[in-house]
Chains A and B, each alone.
Chain A
Amino acid sequence: MTYRDLRRFVASALAGLTIGLVAATAMPALAHGFYDQCNTNTAYSLGIWTRSQARSFALVGRYEGYHWGGGCWDNDNVDDQPGDPVQTEGTHGEGGDCSGFTFKSWGLKNSETTSGYHYWPRMHRVHGPFVAAEFKAGLGPDVNTVAKPSAIYMDAFASSGHIGMIYSTTSTANTDNIIEAKSEASGTGLWSRTYRGDGAYGGVRRGGGCGWDGTCS
C-alpha cells in the first residue's frame, strides 16, 4: 500500500466513521429501540418508601415518553422515541404506560400474589403485573381501593382503561394535578384533571408499607 493509498484509506475510514456515528446516533430506534439502553438488573428491596419519595421519583418521568407496555425512561425531558404505533409494545420506545408508571412510582413488587416492595430505577425495564382495570379493582396484595374524597397525593384514580396519580391539589377550580403516562401523543406529564369526580374512575391507594403513611414499625 502506497502512502497515497493509506491517505485514501484513512480519509474514507473517517468518512465512514462519521456516517456511522451519525446514523447510529440518529436512528437507534429503527435498529434497537430505546429499551436497549435499559436494564433488567436485580430489583432492590424497599425498606422505607414515602409518598414524598414516590412523588419526587415520578416527577423525573415528566416530559419523557409514553410507551404502551413499556417501563423505562431516562431524565432528559425528551421522548427519545416518539411516534411509536399506539397500543403496540414491540417497538420498545421510551416511557411507561399508565399502569407501568404507577407500578414503578409506587415501588410495588413484580407479583400479583406476593406482598412486598421493590425499587425500580427509572432505567430498569419493568412494567409490572397490573393493568389499569386491576388497579381500579384493588387487585394484588399491596393495592387497595380508597374512597375518592379521601384520596391524597400519590394515591391514584383508575378507570377500566387508565390510571393517574395525584401530584398535588392547587387549582382554585378544584381539579387535581395528576401525574400520569397519558399517551403516545401526550407523553408522560403533569396535567389538571377531573378524575376525582368522574364516575368512571375509582380511588386507589398503595398498601401501606413502611413510611408510606408516615409510620414505620
Chain B
Amino acid sequence: MSDRFSFSSRKRKPTLRNEGQMRKPKIVALGLAVGLVFGFVGAWSVGPALSEGTERSIAETLQVHHKQPSLVDRSKPLELVYDTICPWDEEAFMKNVASECKPTGDIFVRSEGSEVLQVYTLNPVEGTPFLTATLPSEVTSHSFTYFAEVRDEGSGSELVRIPDDPRTFHRAFPLDDSFDVMLENPKAFDQPDATVVRGSWGGEMSQFGLTGGNESGLDGPSAFGFDTDGSLVVLDQVNGRLIDFNLLGGVDGAVTIDHSGSLGDLAVGSDGVRYVMDDSARADARVVALTPEGHSLVTAAPPALLPEKMSIVDGKLFILDAIRGSWSAAMDGGEVVVTEMRSNGLPLETAQRTAVLDKMNLSGAGNPGELVAWADANEAKFALVDGTRVIRSWRVSSERQIGEIQLALISDGALLVVLRTWNDTNSAFEILRLSDSELLDHRVVETGDWAQSSVLGRFELNTRGELFQLRSSPDGFSIVRFDFGGGK
C-alpha cells in the first residue's frame, strides 16, 4: 500500500511524469534487449558445456550377460559362459590409457537337496570378453541352482551378481528320456485354413500403419490378441491405436492409445484388460494396462532388462526378459504385481495342468508346474517341470538352423511349438503339436515377416485351439488361422 501511495503521490509531478512515461519504455526495452542477447549468447555458449558436465550414462557400469542353459544333458560336463561388457571411458581412450577393466569372478552352485554351495572360478578366455567355468558331470547329474559374482579387478569397484535379483538363482534341469523330433529340410509350405483379417497399408480405419524406410527398416503392426468374446485386437502402434475386429473379421472400431509408435507388444486378459508394451528407447519402456474402452488403469516399467514377450497365465501378466532369460510376473488384472518370481519357465494355466495330467499319463510322475523352453542354433528343448524335477521333455533338431521359438505352450494336453528354421536361401516357421510320445501334427508355413513386428508376437493361440499368425507383405497386413482341434 505504501508503495502504491508513494507512486500515486509522484504522479502529481506533471513534468517528471511526462518525461518518465516517455523514457521508461525505452529503458525497459533496452534492458530487455540487452538481457535477451546475453541470455541467448550465454545459453548457447555455456549450455553444451553444462550439459557435458551433468551427463550420465547407463554405460558407466560393468554389465555381465549370461545365457542360462536351463535344460542340460544329464551327467555331462557343462561349460557356463559369462559375457562381460566394460564401461566405455572415452577420455582414457583418447589419452591412450589402457582400460583398467579386468573382470573376474566365481560361480556358486548348489545341487538339488544340498545345502552346500560349491564354488567354481570363472576363467577369462584370452582375447575375448568371456569368462567360463566347466561344471563337472557330478553337478549335472541332478538339477541344480547357481549364481555368479563378477567383479572388475582393474578398478576394484564393481561387483555384479547374476542373476541380479539376490533372491533368485538360475536353475538347470537335466534331461534324459526326452521325446526327440528331427525336422527335415521343408519342401513346401502348408497353407492356412483361413485369412481372417486383411488390409492395405495406411492410416484409414480398414488399413494398418507402416513406417520406416531406408536406414531404419520397416515396422508394421506389432502384435495381436483376443478379446473376451474371441474376436481379434491388433496393436497398430504406427497409427497409435488398438483396432477391434468382430468375429467375422470386420473392423468393429478402434481405440486411440498413447504410444511412441515404436514396436511393442500386446496381451489381452480374460477379464478384457489390454496390456500394451511400448518399447521405445527414447522414453523408458513401459506397459500400460487399458480397459477395452481405452481408459488407462495403470502404467508400469516392465520387470525386464530387455522385454521380449508378454503372456497371460490365469489372469496374471508375465514378461519374458531376453537378457535374464526368465519370466517375471508384472501385473494382475490391471494391478502392478510386486515381482518376486523370476523363472526360466512359464507357469501352466490351471486348465492346462489338468489336461496334461489327463492326456500324458503323468500319474505318479509329478504335478506339472511350468513349461521351460530353450533353444540355440542346433536344438530346441522343452520340459514340463515340477519344482526341481523334469517330468516330460522334448528335443527338436533340424537339418537347418533353428531360429527363435515364437511360441511354446501346453494346449489340450499336448505341447504346441512354433519355431523358425532357416538356411542361406529361405526361412520358415514350423508348427509342431507333440504328445509325450508322438508328433501329432507338423506344418511348415511362410514367415510373412516383410515388416518387423514384436519379436515373439507373430503367433497366438485362442481358447478354441486355433492358431493365428500375423503376416505382412508389400501389399499389406493380414492375420491367418490354422486349425488344430482341441482347446487351449
Contacts and interface: CB of A to CB of B under 8 A. Distances in A.
B202 interface: no
Given A37-B48, A172-B374, 18 more contacts: A12-B31, A21-B39, A21-B43, A56-B85, A62-B59, A121-B94, A147-B424, A162-B217, A170-B65, A177-B322, A182-B281, A183-B211, A186-B261, A186-B279, A187-B280, A191-B279, A192-B456, A199-B425
A170 B321 CA distance: 9
* A contact patch SS: mixed
Contact of B27 (A8, A20, A59, A174): A8
Contacts of B51: 37, 74, 76
Interface of B: 20, 23-24, 27-44, 47-48, 51-52, 54-59, 63, 65-68, 70, 83, 85-88, 90, 93-94, 99, 126-129, 211-219, 260-263, 279-282, 306, 308-309, 320, 322-326, 344, 373-377, 380, 401-405, 420-422, 424-427, 447, 449-450, 455-456
Given A20-B38, A56-B88, A192-B308, A186 B377 contact: no
A206 B43 CA distance: 41
A144 interface: no
Contacts of A65: 282
Interface in A41-95: 44, 51-53, 55-57, 59-60, 62-63, 65-66, 68-69, 74-77, 79, 82, 86-87
Given A20-B37, A194-B420, A174 B380 contact: yes
Contact of A159 (B55, B65, B126, B217): B217
A185 B36 contact: no
A173 B375 contact: yes
A194 B211 contact: no
Nearest to B33: A16
A1 B24 CA distance: 11
A169 B365 CA distance: 34
Nearest to A10: B31
A114 interface: no
A197 B427 contact: yes
B390 to A, nearest CB: 15
Contacts, number: 305
Nearest to A14: B35
The 8 A-B residue pairs with the shortest CB-CB distance in the complex, in nearest-first order: A20-B39, A16-B35, A189-B281, A12-B31, A197-B403, A214-B127, A162-B217, A24-B43
Interface in A117-176: 119, 121-122, 131-132, 147-149, 153, 159, 161-162, 168-175
Nearest to A32: B44
Nearest to A194: B404
Contact of A174 (B29, B36, B86, B404): B404
B21 to A, nearest CB: 12
B37 to A, nearest CB: 7
Interface string A175-210: 101000111111111111110111110000000000
Contact of A57 (B32, B88, B282, B380): B88
A184 B39 CA distance: 31
Given A86-B213, A168-B85, A199-B427, A20 B422 contact: no
B213 A16 contact: no
Contacts of A183: 211-212, 216-217, 219, 262
A1 B28 CA distance: 13
A66 B217 CA distance: 13
Nearest to A97: B215
Given A56-B88, A177-B322, A185-B282, A171 B55 contact: no
